Amino acid sequence: MGACSMLKKLDGILNILISLLMGAFVGHAIYVYLDYRTYPGLYDMQSAPWYTGILYYGIFTIVPLIIAVIIKLFLWRKLKQKKEEE
pLDDT in tens, 35-67: 999 999 989 898 899 999 999 999 999 999 999
For residues 79-83, average pLDDT: 83
* Cα–Cα distance list, 22 to 33, 35, 40 (Å): 17, 20, 26
Average pLDDT score, the chain: 91
pLDDT at 21 over 70: yes
DSSP helix/strand/coil, 9: helix
Task: Classify the phi-psi angles of 48: left when phi > 0, otherwise alpha if psi is within -120 to 50, otherwise beta.
Answer: beta
Confidence of residue 15 (pLDDT cuts 50, 70, 90): very high
pLDDT of residue 1: 55
For residues 18-24, average pLDDT: 96
